[in-house]
Amino acid sequence: MRSLMMPFAGVSAHIPDEHTSASGLCTSLQNLRQAFTNLDSSASYQHSFAVFMAPYPGCAYGIANQTNDQANVLSDTGATGTTISNFVVPNYLSLYGGNPYSTKVRCVSMGIRVTYEGTEQNRAGSVFAGLGLNCDEPLTQPATGTQISMMSGFVGKTKPTLSEIRNSLTQVTECRMVDGVFEARWKPAGIPSYQLYGAGLLGTTNTSGTATAMSLYQAPPGSAGCEAGQNFLVVVIEGDTTATSSTVSNTYNFEMVWNWEVLPDNPTAVAYTISTSRMDMGTLQNALNAVAAAPVGTSRRAAPTQRF
């Protein structure tokens, strides 16, 4: 439960379910510090964008930018559907032994912290976070799309509006962009399953306007992709404001963490320690019930300046 509630605290844990095989506990970290660009290169005063995290290291997070100067429609496959925007965790190679499908992995916990790094004058807009259920068959954009939209797996559209994204999420937390840190934590949709992971993965492309039944972004339990029916963690910045009309937003820092439970097929080929995982359904039941009642997001102001 501590790992789910405090993913940044460095609390690694086995999930105490019936999968009692000896496994390794690994953590992945990513810092994303950047401004976000309008996809058609138009200039605007208002900017919106999204970062969403997946419980799978092969497509660990994605980015959706606004399509034009209206700041209300986002896309994670570019303006024409030909750009890929999913990313692996930085330490993805160290999670497996180097062979195709050479490990099984599941996410124990993950979280994200958002910090606005622009000027105080431009600090405006709001941030909301929620859980997106990966249950819609992912789509490619009509006419020109070749890349499957990871975001469409929980929204059902390749170019959703902010309202459509918001309506697709559950347990939403929203606040103004604070002078501090906004933090959100993931909640699983049931007990995560072990997914195959390694050098070989499912694909990310299809023909234009097509729904894909099985891909890297959505695969049956136990397959080489993100588990279908599992939650994504979604964070959206809405109404970021620049002093002058600009093609890019203000700068933000997204700090992301994933805690994994890993079953390599060759324990001698990995750098982490394998330890036993005990079954304790009572503890698991209590943890899931406690987490269900907790909010997804919280905000806190920066720590006061201290003098020594």
pLDDT digit string, tens, across residues 13-46: 899 999 888 899 999 999 999 999 999 999 999 9
Provide the β-strand partners of residue 236. Answer: 50, 128
Dihedral (CA of 210, 171, 175, 7) sign? negative
What are the chain's domains? 2-300 (2.60.120.20)
Phi and psi at residue 76, to the nearest 5°: -105, 5
Lowest-confidence segment of 10-19, 45-54, 169-178, 208-217 by average pLDDT: 10-19
**pLDDT tens digits along 89-143:** 999 988 987 776 679 999 999 999 999 999 988 998 999 999 999 999 999 999 9
**41 dihedral zone (left: phi>0; alpha: psi -120 to 50; beta):** left
- Mean of per-residue pLDDT scores for the chain: 92
